């Protein structure tokens, strides 16, 4: 995270889960196997402690169906509400972020990327691509992140579970 200028890093105590049906999901320390209320409390605490004005998390599809993305998106969406309420007073004073954004990729853009032969997408079946993303009509905000593409790749490469 130093690469992104977001020190200090705050890591929650969960292991990276795998895709559906992989053995990583059986690890009780994996995010998908963790107690939901414990994860919710961890996220509520982070929101109250950091007091963000906006929260960005995954939507219900997890962008490409990764169980961790789906789970943390669902829990973070709930935590954004709980953090602003009187619930869980032992986790600090309530804090309500002004905005909650769900990361989404327009399905039509993914299909177009496959047709262009874009790396990664060209290896996926048409049937699988058709299950990814959300319809373009459901995308409400677009952020041009192209200037950060190399920085993002560098940060991902430095992340131990992504190499």
Tens-digit pLDDT profile for the chain (163 aa)?
A: 678 887 778 889 999 898 888 888 888 899 999 999 999 999 999 999 999 999 999 999 898 888 999 999 999 999 999 999 999 999 999 999 999 999 999 999 989 988 998 887 778 888 988 888 999 999 999 989 899 989 988 988 887 665 4
Position 160 in a domain: no
pTM: 0.86
Per-residue pLDDT at 161: 60
The H-or-E segment that residue 91 falls in is none
Per-residue pLDDT at 124: 83
Give start and end residues of each alpha helix (H) in the chain. Answer: 36-50, 62-65, 67-82, 107-115, 126-129, 149-158
Q: Strand, helix or coil at 13? A: coil
The H-or-E segment that residue 15 falls in is none
Angle between helices 67-82 and 36-50 (to 10 degrees): 60
Per-residue pLDDT at 163: 44
Position 144 in a domain: no
Per-residue pLDDT at 1: 67
Domain count, the chain: 2
Position 1 in a domain: yes
Apex CA 20: angle with CA 15 and CA 128, to 5°?
Answer: 130
Residue showing tokens 């409400």? 140
Domain that holds residue 128: 106-138
Position 15 in a domain: yes
């Amino acid at each position: 995270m130093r690469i992104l200028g977001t020190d200090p890093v705050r890591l929650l105590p969960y292991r990276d889960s795998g895709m559906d049906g992989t053995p990583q999901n059986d690890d009780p320390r994996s995010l998908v196997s963790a107690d939901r209320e414990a994860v919710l409390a961890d996220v509520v605490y982070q929101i109250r402690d950091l007091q963000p004005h906006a929260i960005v998390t995954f939507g219900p599809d997890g962008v490409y169906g990764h169980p961790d993305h789906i789970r943390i998106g669902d829990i973070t969406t709930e935590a954004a509400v709980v953090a602003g309420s009187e619930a869980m007073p032992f986790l600090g004073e309530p804090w309500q972020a002004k905005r909650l954004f769900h990361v989404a990729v327009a399905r039509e853009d993914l299909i177009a990327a496959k047709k262009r032969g874009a790396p990664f997408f060209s290896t996926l079946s048409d049937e699988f691509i058709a299950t990814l993303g959300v319809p373009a009509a459901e995308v409400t905000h677009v952020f041009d992140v192209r200037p950060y593409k190399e920085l993002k790749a560098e940060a991902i490469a430095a992340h131990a579970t992504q190499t």
